[in-house]
Amino acid sequence: MALGLLQRLYLSFLILAPFGGEKEDVHADMLSIETRSFIASTDHDFICATLDWWPPEKCDYGTCGWGLASILNLNLSNAILLNAVKAFSPLKIRLGGTLQDRVMYKAGEPQQPCSPFVKNSSHIFGFSEGCLPLSRWDELNDFFNKSGASIIFGLNALKGRVLLQDGSVGNTWDLSNAAFLINYTVAKNYSIAGWELGNELTGHGIGARLNVDQYVADVTVFMDLVNATYQGKPARPLVLAPGGFFHIDWYSAFLNKTKPGSLDVLTHHIYNLGPGSSEHLIDEILNPSYLDGCASTFSNLKEIIRRSNKSAVAWVGEAGGAYNSGHHLVTDSFVSSFWYLDQLGMSAKYDTKTYCRQTLIGGNYGLLNKDTFEPNPDYYSALLWHRLMGTRVLSFNYTGSNMTRTYAHCAKQSSGITLLLINLSGNTTSQVAVANGSDLRREEYHLTARDGDLQSQVMVLNGQILSTGTNGTIPTLKPIIIQDASPLTVAPYSILFAHFPSFYAPACT
């Protein structure tokens, strides 16, 4: 009885204390869920995050946001980092980024020095060629094994190429160095979930570009290499490509020209908020029409895969909201969870199987703070999605405002369903009645910013500040329990996950 009263008082506080200090509206909305079938599906480990190659000298708009957070220099012994990855069990981690096409893999013998990246404006991407020592590869794999991470590694697709004046490249791909790393990895019995070829070399490319026929030829050879290397092994890693920005004509031609069985995953990158220097990022994040603008990317990609009759599936291989390292106190603050969770829901609805966030740590869009390793708000949003939103995506009819973004999935590792509601409005509370379902008792997870500050880097769950404990432990994410069929209450500038464990949906059985 007392607990129920406290829960009601907390919900009343959310409604009666609008963050903007203005008079607040309350909208009564209705949500009706299609329970008989699901419309799309994701991987069980849909949530993915990236690690990048950028050194501390990487700067954007006068801000150097990377510090010691790259694949080459990240402190792998940090307890928060280990616990943050372990909390997902598993977290997919993609190792890649712009400089991956400038990385050599070396044993580190004295006669073959393994040099780091050096800033040099005369080089492609603004940095010299760098090197991954096998000793560092060993350290990374030890960390991945301890944390239970599932690894996707992006390989150098420009090895042996010559960059031409128009940005295109000549010569064929030299796969010898990639083969060296793959063979070493197999010999050491390191577990790799997937190998990806190239980064942002499609279409116009970023610094360099490959035409469709070149990429198709490379991927065919690449698949042959992976098949041969893993022959007789219990499982072959996925082969992924091309990791570029989606252009419908380029992607259509690429997929149509690939041989059946030569590609498992079609990856693309998306930064729908524009440059990190923009002064309008928060306005864009809170604008539902702007958020809807990237739906065509997901729907068009789904359609060209369907038309191709190929078995490849779609992944978002990299997405950080705002490109060029993001924007401090936007893409690493509470307001970022509005676009991030919305895009997770939107991409899943169009059959995207995995979504990789740029980054796990590094830049101004990391799930973890690059200096303290403390989780930023988006980390907790990702973790709640991972634990609550199942693989099957449900259709529904929602009568409310488009300022409340709504997604429905079968529950994760549990019976029933989970709803995600995101209120983009600062002065309107949504009270959402669920129209169908035999039992509407539920577990609720209300996410808000500390002190109502959208640019806060502190996440609040059901009125409690989330922070790591002693020895870097990740806090327990506890719901409040609602024992009746009252409407869902989504306060201004807040996010709600609601798990209905007894909601009967044949699509989820």
Catalytic residues: 200, 318
| CB burial string 294-312: b at 16+ within 10 A, e below | beebbebbbebbeebebeb
SS3 of 443-458? EEEEEEEHHHCCCCCC
Which phi and psi (to 5°) does residue 34 adopt? -80, 115
Q: Could you identify the residue written with the tokens 């580190």?
A: 108
The answer to whether residues 232 and 281 touch, using CB atoms and an 8 Å cutoff, is no
Closest C-alpha to 424, from 300, 303, 340: 340
Which phi and psi (to 5°) does residue 204 adopt? -75, -20
Structure tokens, 366? 């990391």
Closest C-alpha to 105, from 11, 180, 17: 180
Structure tokens, 333? 């603050």
Within 8 A by CB and 6+ apart from 320, the residues are 271, 326, 331, 357, 358, 359, 363, 365
The answer to whether residues 173 and 198 touch, using CB atoms and an 8 Å cutoff, is no
Q: Could you identify the residue written with the tokens 């790259």?
A: 70
End-to-end CA distance of the chain: 33
Closest C-alpha to 383, from 44, 94, 41, 47: 47
Distances (CA, A) of 407 to 144, 327, 396: 32, 27, 8
User: HSE-up of 36 (CA within 13 Å, CB side)?
Assistant: 0
d(CA 432, CA 352): 27
Within 8 A by CB and 6+ apart from 112, the residues are 106
Helical packing angle, 295-308 and 248-257, nearest 10°: 20
